[in-house]
Structure 1
Amino acid sequence: MSTVDYAKLRFQDPQQRSRAAQRLEDSRSMARGAGATGAQVTEARSRYDNGQINISDSQWRAEWLPGRYAVDPDSGVLMPPESWRRKRALQKAAAAAGDAPRTVSPLPHPQLTEEQKAHIRERTLSPTPYNAAGVAIRPFLTQGSVAERVSIFEKCPAELRQRGASTELQDKMRQPAIAAWRAQNEVKDKAQTYGRERDGRSSTESPPASSPKSPPRRTANARPANKSALIPKFHFPYGRPESRDKVEAQLQRIQQAFNSYPGGQVPKDKFAAIAKACELPLYWKVPLFLAAGGEKTGHVTAAAFLDFWKRLLATSHDQASRFVRVLTAGQRTHLVPEDLVPLVQDVVETHPGLNFLKEAIEFHSRYVHTVIARIFYCVNRSWSGRITVAELRRSNLLKTIQLLEQEEDINQITDYFSYEHFYVIYCKFWELDKDHDLLIDKSDVARHNDHAVSSRIIDRIFSGAVTRGSARKQEKMTYMEFVWFLLSEEDKKHPTAIEYWFRCMDLDGDGYLSMYELEYFYEEQLQRMEALGIEALPFEDCLCWMLDMVQPETPGKIALSDLKQCQMSNIFFDTFFNLEKYLEHDQRDPFALQRDGEPGQTMSDWDRFAAEEYELLVAEEGAAEQDPELVVVEETQ
């Protein structure tokens, strides 16, 4: 009798013999078959694989199992000791409570296929490798996700062993996710085939569409060799460079312009042709002549100028950057007032609208300083005393200089260069400067417009809030500073004027006009109105009026941006420090105020004031010529 038959006999009738007899018989049989244990186990395994033994129909004894398993007496299923003890505890608890014992059905177990049995047989016969910790290494089921391990188990073991488990897993990791269910270009090919069939053409007759090569996959650590080739340059602080052909054509024109003069030497008064060859405005000619080194020798040669122009083209590519480079001779990247003197002096000497001023040399410097002060007032928005390339691009200075060449009447160019505006500014200063030293003090400024400006705002002007230089220490104001004062006083809607008076009224310098600061300046206005017998508006009512007009973003204080957005900033400032204009606004038609604040108005407050004052000054000069005694009487008074 074999061991397997003996085991079946034991399981079929376990109650016929006692437990002690069974143990004795087991020990005898094990002693008799100790030498043939391996062959018997192999034979039993083969009979189990061939289906000759049905273990599920037998009843195992608990004594035959290792210590880590237990047999459920109800179902005969192998269970871990923890689960078995838990089930026995539940049954005992139910019996104590008087409930009927509940039976637990065994879990369903799928039948193994022939391929799975062959796979288990091969894995059993092959030696199992172990690592250093003594744990068995199972390469088929230790890598990948649960889905990958299931797919590996379902594949044919023989085919899997030929390829190797590690190679299969590596191939799966390399392939894209879409390759698991659909090849690349498969959708495109099927769509093309479907379209050909709808057109009545068979897919077999048409040539097969060759799938294009997929683009190379870029690894995560790959970086472009040249970053500038992928990201083109987009920031050009000095302009976008011109093409080489255009530069070469320009250099040829310059060479031809120099060849038209004897010896290739061009003097200062003939340099307009060179400026035109460089495609520059006419009144760049003198700064261009000086930048090329013509001041030392009185002329410029072709070689010297071409060398200078090539260096300029290498760094400056637009008109604004070239203007700064020419006027500073390449020394700075910004303009100071002294850099504009040669250009404005050339306008005085050569512009047809200023021919009458050529002989009055004493007025040349006054006109030049007036124009420069107006340029910095409008262009230098940063209040730094230096005009940068960015500020120059945002202004209309270069267009105005180009317009000088086309307009013969310089008074038509009201921006910067108008002689009438210069005449009004200089006459106003001349009236205040009694000693004619080109410096005025607080008392002189107080006499402006018949003491219209309050003394408290004058003190703030001379405190250094809007002035700079050595004259401020002496509590004096220079002529160029007076130009800024007059422009701000007569046109309080200009952005620079708003900043000018905001600096003066901001006593604590916190960037806001608080209520106490407004009350400080309005107190003097109340005193002056009471002295004149005018019914004054209380400060509380005036404050409500101003806040409703300005509508500040932060309640209780007014910022600079609030005044710039307000269209009636002139009324706001005149209310606090210019009594005459405050009364004029109070008595004026409100619809006229609304029309003046419309953006369609071309003439500014300064242009309107300068035109009226110039007519008055001309009328006074005409009356003085007709009656000289009137002038003598006024001077004696």
Structure 2
Amino acid sequence: MDLFTKYYSEWKGGSKNTNEFYKTIPRFYYRLPAEDEVLLQKLREESRAVFLQRKSRELLDNEELQNLWFLLDKHQIPPMIGEEAMINYENFLKVGEKAGPKCKQFFTAKVFAKLLHTDSYGRISIMQFFNYVMRKVWLHQTRIGLSLYDVAGQGYLRESDLENYILELIPTLPQLDGLEKSFYSFYVCTAVRKFFFFLDPLRTGKIKIQDILACSFLDDLLELRDEELSKECQETNWFSAPSALRVYGQYLNLDKDHNGMLSKEELSRYGTATMTNVFLDRVFQECLTYDGEMDYKTYLDFVLALENRKEPAALQYMFKLLDIENKGYLNVFSLNYFFRAIQELMKIHGQDPVSFQDVKDEIFDMVKPKDPLKISLQDLINSNQGDTVTTILIDLNGFWTYENREALVANDNENSADLDDT
């Protein structure tokens, strides 16, 4: 404390005038210019552009990356592990000295230790290190690229900002070469919706650039640069042309009156057409509709929730629909409310209705909530059974599959055995 007081007094300068002392504190807050302060806004935009250009010049270009690879390869230390060239810490530092100032941040003891695993000679893989550098450079490049669309300059993108980014990205993605320009707006809407559905759970209308970089969606989108992307990868990639056309095609097929919107009756034919009317009523009560009909953007949220039921954002969407009393938890009443509709569908299809008491007990056994009488959203997420629980309550086909899961597994095993015999 004595030492602190001494240094503090010296820094303060022994000034008797407190106001004079406060004037030495550097300014740390700058008010954002108002909409009518055009000159200040232009100045801020220009300064941000200059800053981003400077940051971009600090990154390694292709030639510098190639030079780094040659230096690493030249300083490798035998023996190789399989086909992996290795380098020790001494040579690692030598490469750092020769690679230039832009590479300095990568050649630290901390980075080396991160990549050091079980090599008995205390070396790291040259390829792993180079991939680490490439990934870092890519992240910074992408961060700068996204920041150019950050109109507010606050580190987040609004829906319109992300739409502009993806629209201008389309011509650089060979896998989207076949898309008709008339479909671009629907493609952009489809792509943007996934970002906002999962990264903006509170529906604020904006996403942090850091969150975009941290998730895998951007990797999936930029995967479309690969001209030889397999058909299987395209089918599982939400951002691919086949996937976007599939989702939009389903929407058009459901829209029987061709008015560009979906009524509850039209949506009821989604998937296997076995979702209950009670659940569909809740969809139209809680989701944004126009004169009682659903637009494409709202439909995309619906599809993303149903196709990703294990994800917390999808479970949050489903939980809001199942929580009919808006209490923040599901109780026996709300479970019974939805399951009665399943029982009615079973009667209509000539099936013997299953006892709600049995289903209720199974659900609580699966979830194991903290409160034995209430299931919260967090309980659903923690249980890793949220997708099964929601399926049981909203979809007859899903419930039937769950009820007959053992017979279906046995049948699959028999079919596999028959194939092996042949």
TM-score band (shorter)?
A: 0.5 to 0.7
Q: Deviations over 1:345-364 (max 9, x none)?
A: 2343342222222xx22222
**Paired position in structure 2 for 1:430:** 252
Please tell me the residue identity of whatever aligns with 2:374: K
Output the amino acid matched with 1:584.
T
2:188 — aligned with what?
Answer: 368
The answer to whether the 8 A contact 2:237-2:243 is kept is: no
Note if 1:537 corresponds to 2:354.
Answer: yes
Provide the secondary structure at the position in 2 that maps to 1:498: helix
For residues 209-249 of structure 1, what are the alpha-carbon distances to aligned partners after superposition, in whole Å with 9 as ceiling and x for unaligned?
xxxxxxxx92685563669xxxxxxxxxxxxxxxx9x9599
How many residues in Structure 1 have an aligned counterpart in Structure 2? 293
Larger radius of gyration between Structure 1 and Structure 2: 1
> In structure 1, what is the equivalent of residue 219 of structure 2?
399
2:390 is aligned with 1:576: no
Q: Is the 8 A contact 2:175 2:224 kept in 1?
A: no
Q: Is the 8 A contact 2:367 2:383 kept in 1?
A: yes
Q: How does 1:175-574 map to 2 (within 5 A)?
A: 218=2, 222=6, 224=8, 250=57, 322-357=144-179, 360-406=180-226, 408-409=228-229, 412=233, 414-464=236-286, 467-468=287-288, 472-574=289-391
Question: What amino acid sits opposite 1:583 in the alignment?
Answer: W
Alpha-carbon RMSD: 3.4
- Greater RCO (CA < 8 Å, at least 6 residues apart): 2
State the shift of 1:330 in Å: 4.5
Query: 1:318, CA displacement in angstroms?
Result: 5.3
TM-superposed CA distance for 1:403, in Å, is 3.8
Secondary structure in 2 matching 1:335: strand
- How much does 1:450 deviate? 4.8
Task: Work out the CA distance in 1 between the residues paired with 2:220 and 2:59.
Answer: 29
Aligned letter for 1:386?
A: K
The 3 A distance-change label for structure 1 pair 248 and 491 is closer
Separation in 1, partners of 2:188, 2:143: 23
CA distance in 2, matches of 1:433, 1:409: 32
**Alpha-carbon distance in structure 2 between the residues aligned to 1:576 and 1:248:** 52
TM-score by length of 1: 0.42
Contact 2:175 2:226 in 1 (8 A): no
Amino acid at match of 2:175: G
Query: Alignment identity in percent?
Result: 23
State the distance in 2 between where 1:401 and 1:226 align.
53
Q: Distance in 2 between matches of 1:444 and 1:589?
A: 33
State the 1:443 CA deviation: 1.4
Q: How does 1:137-176 map to 2 (within 5 A)?
A: none
SS of residue paired to 1:387: strand
* Cα distance in 2 for residues equivalent to 1:509 and 1:580: 27
SS of the counterpart of 2:298? Answer: helix
* 8 A Cα contact 2:56 2:144, kept in partner: no
| Alpha-carbon displacement from aligned partner over 1:432-453 (angstroms, at most 9, x marks no partner) | 1123332112111112235311
Question: Partners of 1:521 and 1:403 in 2: how far apart?
Answer: 41
Closer/same/farther in 2, CA of residues 534 and 319 from structure 1, 3 Å limit:
same
Q: For the Cα contact (< 8 Å) 1:530–1:536, is it kept in 2?
A: yes
- Bigger drift between 554-563 and 380-389 goes to 380-389
Structure 1: stretches of 5+ with no match in the other structure:
1-216, 228-243, 255-278, 280-316, 594-637
SS of corresponding position for 2:378: helix
Inter-partner Cα distance in structure 2 for 1:567 and 1:335: 31
Q: Is the 8 A contact 1:410 1:418 kept in 2?
A: no
- Alignment partners' CA distance in 1, 2:360 and 2:282: 21
